[in-house]
Each structure stands twice: as structure tokens, then as C-alpha cells.
Amino acid sequence: MAMNKNTVLGWATLIMILMGILLVLMGIYRYQDVAGWGFGAVGVGFFANAWVFNALKGRV
């Protein structure tokens, strides 16, 4: 299976969204102290990065 740039960006976007959801949920349910805020912030950062990858599809 040949993977071009758009396919790679699509997979990267999907993985980043899944990791963002996992990190936000860990921040909510696993860590009830200040560490939870850090996990949530990193998860939101993953969402922002996935948004950029999705916007790059078809442009590179």
C-alpha cells in the first residue's frame, strides 16, 4: 500500500485526535489534582496540532 503525503497527514490527524481524547479523559478522571490540568492542557494542544495537520491535507 503506497502512502502519499495526504494519507500520512490523515493518519497523523486521527492518531493526534485519539491521543488528545485520551489525555483529556485522563486529566478528568485519573488525576484529580493539579496534574489533571496539565494533562488536559496537553490534550487540547494535541487537538490544535491535529487541526493544523487536517488543514494541511491537499496543500503539501
Domain containing 10 equals 5-56
Evaluate if pTM is beyond 0.75. yes
Tell me which long-range contacts 18-24 makes (C-beta under 8 A, separation of at least 24).
Answer: 19/43, 19/46, 20/44, 20/45, 20/46, 20/47, 20/50
Three-state secondary-structure class, residue 25: helix
Task: Please check the confidence at residue 8 and state whether its pLDDT lies above 90.
Answer: no
Task: Please check the confidence at residue 60 and state whether its pLDDT lies above 90.
Answer: no
pLDDT digits 0-9 by tens, 22-49: 999 999 888 888 888 999 999 999 999 9
Q: What is the mean pLDDT of the chain?
A: 89
User: Looking at the 3D structure of the chain, how many domains does it have?
Assistant: 1
> What average pLDDT score do residues 4-19 get?
90
Q: What pLDDT was estimated at residue 2?
A: 77
